[in-house]
Amino acid sequence: MANFISLAEVTCKFGDQACPFPAPGAGIFEWRAITSLNLGITSIDITKPVILALLCTVIVSVVFLAAFARPKLVPTGLQNVVEVGYLFVRDNIAREIMGKDGDRFVPLLTSLFFFVWTMNVMAIIPVAQFPVSSRFAFPVVLALIVWLLYMFLGMKNQGVVGYFKNIAFPPGMPIGIYPLLTPIELLSTIIIRPVTLAIRLFANMFAGHLLITVFTVSAWYLLNLTNFVGFVSVIGYLGSIVSFFVTIVLTGFEMFIQALQAFIFTLLTAVFISSSLHAEH
């Protein structure tokens, strides 16, 4: 209990010698299990990120099913809004990267984009206030699915040998460069692609949440009335106000990053799938 960082339990205040600034660390991403479901092979801890992940699943599914249950030729209300999102993924991601081929992958890309985005947005939803995608497991799972898909599509469309040959020896290069290029290409396509895909999303959301938390805690910590009066407490107040406004600005910035990271994740997925459909020329 003593190690919780929460507004209710932080008693430390600016100026208290025995109580330095309780800087938030990796601990704010660790959650207690409310309960644990034993499934025999493995047990599932029901934690806040797990609940939020399931909530995201419900939100995305329900919104899409409700919006497109009986779609009208002239869209109104919810259909209008969700349609804009759907068309964004279809036109600006799928068709932009893959052309007409991309239409097959629109359901996958739409699911990815809106799942990732909703998980990211949880960071600024009151009470939730935690980006689900800052738990490494979720980006890892999605990146793994993307990796399996584009490896499979590559081998299916270019042949097992042909696919790896096309990765290792991109055509149109002078022969002398292959000793240098081949290991880089193999490493890049097979290992670095999925790893960076997962880490990019995770790290962005992790850092964003950490930043917001640091300034939130600092706004509380610097709000000191009891230990000092006069000049020092004025500095504390000023610091608190600045931290508070920085928190608000960062929250706005995070809203942008959340959408951007979801977009990048989906865009890169489309790029990887596209490179598996056709060998590079």
Partner 1 sequence: MNWILAAEGTGGNSNVLLPPTYELVIGTIAFFTIFFLLSKFALPNIKKTLEARTESIEGGIAKAEKMQQEASITLAQYRQQLSDARSEAAKIRTAAESERTNLISEARNEAQAVAQTVTQQANAQIEAEKSKAVNELRLDVSKLAIDLASKIVGASLQDDARAKAVIDQFIKDLESAGGKR
Query: Which of 233, 46, 156, 75 has the alpha carbon at shortest distance from 86?
Result: 75
Contact between 73 and partner 1 per CB under 8 A: yes
Q: Which two tokens stand for residue 40?
A: 């025999």
Gap between the Cα atoms of 41 and 74, Å rounded = 50
Tell me how long the chain is: 281
The CB density around residue 60, as the number of other CB atoms within 10 Å, is: 19
Q: How far is CA 132 from the centre of its chain?
A: 7
Mask: binding to partner 1, 115-154, rule CB under 8 A, as x and -? x-----------x--x----xxxx-xxx--x---------
DSSP H helix total and E strand total for the chain: 9, 2
226 binds partner 1 (CB under 8 A): no
Contacting residues for 86 by C-beta, under 8 A, at least 6 apart: 106, 110
Which 7-26 positions form the footprint of partner 1 (CB under 8 A)? 25-26
Check residue 45 for interaction with partner 1 (CB under 8 A): yes
CA distance 81 to 109: 18
Contact between 34 and partner 1 (CB under 8 A)?
yes
Q: Using CB under 8 A, count the residues that bind partner 1.
A: 60
Could you say whether residue 110 binds partner 1 (CB under 8 A)?
A: yes
**Candidates 48-56, 173-181, 237-245, 265-273; binding stretch for partner 1 (CB under 8 A):** 48-56
Q: Name the residues that contact partner 1, by CB under 8 A.
A: 3-6, 25-34, 42-45, 47-50, 53-54, 56-57, 60-61, 64-65, 67-73, 79, 83, 86-87, 106-108, 110-112, 114-115, 127, 130, 135-138, 140-142, 145, 206
